[in-house]
Amino acid sequence: MSEQRRIELPVLGGVSRRTALKGVGAALGVTAFAVAVSPLRRVAGELTADEYFQKHYKELDEREKEAVLARLQEAAREEAGRNDITVSDDPPIPGVKFAYAINLSVCNGNGACVEACHRENNHDRDTNQSYIRVLELPRGSLGLDGADSTYTHEVPAPDKFYMPVQCFQCDNPPCVKVCPVEATWKEDDGIVVVDYDWCIGCRYCEAACPYHARRFNWKAPRVPAEEVNPDQGYLSNRIRPAGVMEKCHFCLHRTRRGRLPACLEACPTGARIFGNLLDPDSEIRAVLRHKRVFVLKEDLGTEPSFFYFFDR
Amino acid sequence: MLIAAGALAVGAGVVPSVLRQPRTGAAILPGAADARLASDAAASPRRGAVVDLPGLEHANLRIACATCHDTREPNPLNAAAADLYLFHQGLVVRHGALTCLSCHNPSDYGTLRLAGGASVAFEASATLCAQCHAPQAADYERGLHGGMTGYWDTSRGERLRKSCIDCHDPHAPAMPAMRPTFKPIDRFLPPREEHR
């Protein structure tokens, strides 16, 4: 963080730090309460009975799931005024466990992956939201205290290296354990997903994730109709309601149909490698076999499905 | 038609005003057989020099290398674009100690030449690159080097793999500096002008 950067909450101008902190506490308390009761608040508003009585994703039978998908698809089409939007729900592929690797010798921090994620996943245009954050770190260090993700200068800068961070789809995910309503869970192909219609927005998972990989929708994402990605998934990139958590899902609406994730296709340096960890001939297995890989904060025991390596 | 344009340029003694160095063909390495190469998917052939002649700006005339080189003696002493006075001006060569004829084949400019003297098609230029860049070539064969698009599961769909020269300019192969154009707008950063 540079010294000249002004850091303050947008809502609290010209108050002392002490009052500000009190204010923050009060504001967060009120916000948390408001969000916690939001289903009740909304039921009086535009929420329909179908939406209110929708069951947890895992409890939906096939017929109910189809009805939910049809309803969401209809709403998405109406909202954007486009008839090409589909909301699907691709199941995990049996015998597939996804894993990702990034070559840090090659990544130059240009951020094309960040933008590709933004467009693919129908992120809010006002905030440039994305599931990926590229950290700029001093060479020879993995201390995240010195990391900066806000750089705008030409890359690669001298004596720096770049580390994209997104959800690591941990095998021992702390975010899943802390969810009080089981709105987030790990699927059979290793992807940690969120049921946006079940999430109460308490943000425990955001606090539990040691990688800062989860995002909160402070407001409903605003995407111009012509920019909406029409290929949407229930557990992935459909436009989320306000007040729910979201996170990288390895582009499951693409990868569960055999396609590569959007961030990988966008990378102009070829630093990203994706594949099936259970296939001994896959590229991701070749990484593990031929490169010295590491995972971030290994000591925490989160067991990420996301590896970093250097060529040299 | 290409030859006619070339003859026009050379015959009239015209130095082309703009010269863009073309990207040449794709590369084929063993082990990459499961995937098509991105450069193969491009429709048009890309070999030769693309010139805009005075009075014919943006005509995109493509002039085959052999148009001139068939009738000229190769000069092995030429090592830089600055040594040449026709067609190659502005070409930046920053590739170790290599000279033109380290890779280009003086007996047939329609091909490239390996260190051992064997000629190799432009489409197989990766074979040429691999002579010096063995670690990268080995990684490429395993799918660990170079970008790709399409399907991770090649039983479900096609994968397009980039070749060496899709990302690296063969004359100046170091990845150029880039500027990040897309940054999340964090709530805790100073507000944007319109929000002040």
- Is residue A302 in some structural domain? yes
- Is residue A83 in some structural domain? no
Q: Could you give the CA distance from residue B88 to residue B85 in angstroms, rounded to a whole number?
A: 7
Q: What is the pLDDT of residues B94-144, one digit of tens each?
A: 999 898 899 999 998 889 999 999 999 988 999 999 999 999 999 999 999
Residue B185: its pLDDT value, please? 76
Whether the CB of B176 is below 8 Å from some CB of chain A: the reply is no
- Is residue A90 in some structural domain? no
Residues from chain A contacting residue B181 (CB–CB below 8 Å): 111, 115
Q: Could you give the CA distance from residue A109 to residue A104 in angstroms, rounded to a whole number?
A: 10
One domain for residues A35 and A176: no
Q: What is the pLDDT of residues A257-308, one digit of tens each?
A: 999 999 999 999 999 999 999 999 999 999 999 999 999 999 999 999 999 9
Question: Of A5, A27, A47, at which residue does a domain stop?
Answer: A47
State how far residue B140 is from chain A, nearest Cα, in angstroms. Answer: 10
Q: What is the pLDDT of residues A30-43, one digit of tens each?
A: 667 666 666 555 54
Residues from chain B contacting residue A128 (CB–CB below 8 Å): 182-185
- Is residue A296 in some structural domain? yes
- Band (pLDDT 50/70/90 cuts) for residue A62 is very high
8 A C-beta contact, residue B170 and residue B125? yes
Judge whether residue A14 has pLDDT over 50: no
- Band (pLDDT 50/70/90 cuts) for residue A11 is very low
What global pTM score does this model have? Answer: 0.79
Residues from chain A contacting residue B150 (CB–CB below 8 Å): 259-260, 265
Residue B11: its pLDDT value, please? 35
One domain for residues A24 and A112: no
The whole domain housing A238 covers 98-309
Q: Which residues pair with B111 in a beta bridge?
A: B121
Residue B53: its pLDDT value, please? 62
Whether the CB of B167 is below 8 Å from some CB of chain A: the reply is yes
One domain for residues A193 and A268: yes
Judge whether residue A212 has pLDDT over 90: yes
Q: What is the pLDDT of residues A117-145, one digit of tens each?
A: 999 999 999 889 999 999 999 998 888 88
- Is residue A55 in some structural domain? no
One domain for residues A138 and A274: yes
**Average pLDDT of every residue of chain A:** 89
One domain for residues A32 and A119: no
Residue B27: its pLDDT value, please? 35
Distances (CA, A) of A169 to A196, A249, A251, B49, B180: 17, 8, 12, 49, 26
One domain for residues A119 and A40: no
> What CATH number is given to the structural domain containing A149?
3.30.70.20
One domain for residues A20 and A152: no
8 A C-beta contact, residue A170 and residue A146? no
- Is residue A57 in some structural domain? no
- Which residues touch B72 (CB under 8 Å, ≥6 apart)? none
Residue A36: its pLDDT value, please? 65
Judge whether residue A13 has pLDDT over 90: no
Q: Could you give the CA distance from residue A275 to residue A207 in angstroms, rounded to a whole number?
A: 29
- Is residue A263 in some structural domain? yes
Judge whether residue A77 has pLDDT over 50: yes
- Is residue A231 in some structural domain? yes
Q: What is the pLDDT of residues A164-205, one digit of tens each?
A: 999 999 999 999 999 999 999 999 999 999 999 999 999 999
Q: What is the mean pLDDT of each run of 10 residues along chain B (196 residues)?
A: 38 35 37 48 52 64 81 82 78 89 91 94 92 96 95 96 94 93 71 57
Q: What is the pLDDT of residues A83-93, one digit of tens each?
A: 999 999 999 99
Q: Could you give the CA distance from residue A284 to residue A273 in angstroms, rounded to a whole number?
A: 6
Domain count, chain A: 2
Residue A308, H or E segment: strand A306-309
One domain for residues A133 and A282: yes
Residue B178: its pLDDT value, please? 94
